[in-house]
Chain A
Amino acid sequence: MKEILELNLPQNVLYTKDHEWMDTTGNTMRIGINDYAQDQLGEIVYVELPQIGACLNKGDVFGTVESVKAVSEVFMPVSGEVIQVNTDLENAPELVSSSPYEKGWMIEIKASNPDEVKTMMDREAYLKFLEGIK
């Protein structure tokens, strides 16, 4: 189990209370689960992702990740349309554990209400939030 200071939490993405991350720097927004979530779940053995074209609201379940022990839902950080899903995870779900921000990304969306991004936390705010729940 990683201590908070050992977690890999990049500066260039935003975080949710459910431990998703979102990269807001491009035209589309890339989403996955963060290092804390993957460390808590243990090795990921299966990932379920939505159909391309699905329109989902902020807070909706967009997929599930499961380890040998647990099944967890992943939630939309903001509302939007699913533009791309990471099909590599079908055959290599463990990428979510080994490379949560790079090869283990899950979906890309086109946000329908970009203002919702403001509800997400930057690295520092997320770290404070984690300290509160640990």
Chain B
Amino acid sequence: MNPLMNQTPLHHWHKQNNAHLSEFSGYEMPLWYPAGTRTEHLSVITHVGIFDTSHMASIWINGPDAFHLLQYAFSRDLNRWNGKPDSQLPEGRCAYGVFLNPSGEVMDDAVVYRFRNDCFMAVVNASMGKTITRHLTDCRDNMNVEIKDLTDRIGKMDIQGPLSAKVLAKALTDPEKILKKMAYFSFKGSGPFSSHGETVKLINGIPVMVSRTGYTGEFGFELFVRSEDLLQTWELIFESGRSFDIQACGLAARDSLRTGAVLPLSHQDIGAWPYVRHPWTFSLPFNSEKNGFTKHFIGGNVLLVEKEAEYTYPFAGFDPRKIIAGKASVSDSAGKTIGSVLTCTTDMAIDRQGDRIYSMATPDRPVDFLPKGLSCGFVKVEVPLEAGTVVYLEDGRRRIKVRIENDIRPDRTARCAMEKMLLA
């Protein structure tokens, strides 16, 4: 292996379990296990899968001005957490947004967690810990706030899929109390981060922070522990999930699952261009008239006057065939080149029947529905396009026909009520 590559605390486990390893953002990570990407992807739709996500970076933001710093640097209005005025992000809740530079371009996306009134954590992408820590430190000015990159001290794994709660319940002490009515984008415990607040422990005594979030569009959790506790945590969850056909999943399945769920990959689907005209405008603090922002924040003013930006749309193809994103152009039905392809992968759990996309999880899917998968991803184009518009993607080797969509994989479980998932 390349000696410059970082390894996660699960590296040895991945090798022992014959993972196909590859470099990702400076880390040697599993792309898939012997079961294969398709099996891993489908496991998360129908059962449960676990992912090593220790390559993600955690930044601790603590002090009397922590809230003000985030209001200034993060794209979400933390004073309007649920969209209404005076609804501050409560303790135990988290929110998705982005950090922009002064030109309104994405430095990285993040989930910001509120532990206490003056105590927050931002989870950013692999290798971005230092960059965002430096950025926040530069923005701090004379604010009274401490900013610390905790990346190498935190171990993280995701447990995703409709059976996640049942598996996690077997591994938690007092699961009923912890999981009951746990809302989407809320968390319990402070795990490796703080000795304050509610203590949540695994049955082997490891303190854990349980967050009802993820990057697959499916129901599930992200677990944060001390890095030295991750292997034991992973093995406990894996054991607890055996009777539920739990599957270890690699980055390939993570990528195809998140794409089908219309979630962006930072530095690929969002990046060094103005953060407007895309499917993720909920992460910007628009007012109800959509003509201004409810707060002042870095990059915000530029976005309000931006008139030249390209439009980002999700698309889905008509079969599993892909083109190589990055090399590919988008053309309209008249053959005119109108943009480029940001992501192109295959969601193996979906297929078209007539005008509709069905998933393995669609309740009224056709009898004997066996999807071959559909290529899908994101395009960035010069002109606005309506959902339903057919465009062509071409990478110099093949040309595929795809359709602009509002959404890709239907019937996702991420927001399903906890009670339903515990009983299902």
Point out residues on A near B: beta carbons under 8 Å: 1-2, 39, 42-43, 45-46, 48, 64, 66-69, 71, 73, 94, 97
Shortest distance between the CB of B291 and any CB in chain A (Å): 41
B55 interfacial by beta-carbon distance below 8 Å = no
Quick one: which of B19, B321, B323, B345 contacts A69, CB cutoff 8 A? B345
Can you report 9 A-B residue pairs in the complex whose CB atoms are below 8 A from each other? Answer: A39-B20, A42-B252, A43-B32, A43-B39, A45-B38, A46-B319, A46-B346, A46-B373, A94-B38
Chain B interface residue count, CB cutoff 8 Å, equals 28
Q: Which of B37, B39, B256, B323 has the most chain A CB within a 10 Å cutoff?
A: B37
Closest chain B residue to A98, Cβ basis: B36
Is B397 in contact with chain A by the CB < 8 A criterion?
yes
Is the CB–CB distance between B37 and A67 below 8 Å? yes
Q: Which residues of B contact A42 (CB under 8 A)?
A: 20, 31-32, 36-37, 252
B222 to chain A, nearest CB (A): 23
- B348 lies within 8 A of A45 (CB): yes
Against A, the Cβ 8 Å flags (1 = close, 0 = not) of B88-116 are 00000000000000000000000000000
Known: A1-B20, A69-B345, A73-B397. A43 touches B37 (CB 8 A): yes
| Contacting pair A71 B19 (CB below 8 A) | no
Q: Is the beta-carbon distance between B36 and A69 smaller than 8 angstroms?
A: no
For A66, the chain B residues whose CB sits under 8 A away are 320-322, 346
Q: How far is the CA of A45 from the CA of B349 in the complex (A)?
A: 12
B385 contacts the other chain (Cβ, under 8 Å)? no
Task: Say yes or no: is B134 at the interface (Cβ < 8 Å to chain A).
Answer: no
Q: Is B255 an interface residue (CB 8 A)?
A: yes
A97 neighbours in B (Cβ, 8 Å): 36
Instruction: Check A69 against B21 for contact (C-beta < 8 Å).
Output: no
Further pairs besides A1-B21, A42-B36, A68-B348: 12, Cβ < 8 Å: A42-B37, A43-B32, A43-B37, A45-B373, A46-B319, A46-B346, A66-B320, A66-B346, A68-B38, A68-B255, A68-B345, A71-B397
The answer for the CA separation of A1 and B22 in the assembled complex, in Å, is 10
Closest to B395 in A: A71
State the B residues within 8 Å of A (CB).
18-21, 31-32, 36-39, 41, 252-253, 255-256, 319-324, 345-346, 348, 372-373, 397-398
Residues of B within 8 A of A1 (CB): 18-21
Nearest-CB residue, chain A, relative to B20: A1
* Chain B nearest Cβ from A48, distance in angstroms: 7
- Closest-by-CB residue of B relative to A61 is B397
Among residues of B, the one whose C-beta sits closest to the C-beta of A67 is B37
Contact of A68 among B19, B21, B253, B372 (CB under 8 A): B253
Distance (Å) between the CB of B44 and the closest chain A CB?
A: 13
CA distance A117 to B94 in the complex (A): 63
Closest Cβ of chain B to A100, distance in Å, is 14
Are A69 and B38 in touch, CB under 8 angstroms? no
The answer for the CA separation of A39 and B34 in the assembled complex, in Å, is 9
User: Complex formed: what's the CA distance from A96 to B224 in Å?
Assistant: 39
CB pair B320–A45 under 8 Å, yes or no, is yes
Q: Are B38 and A43 within 8 A (Cβ)?
A: yes
Chain B CB within 10 Å, residue with most, of A42, A64, A69: A69
CB-nearest residue of chain B to A45: B320
Specify the chain A residue showing the minimal Cβ separation from B30: A1
How many angstroms between the C-alpha atoms of A43 and B253 in the bound complex?
11
Q: A69 CA to B323 CA in the complex, in Å?
A: 10
| A68, B346: Cβ atoms closer than 8 Å | yes
Alpha-carbon separation in the docked complex, A1 to B20 (Å): 4
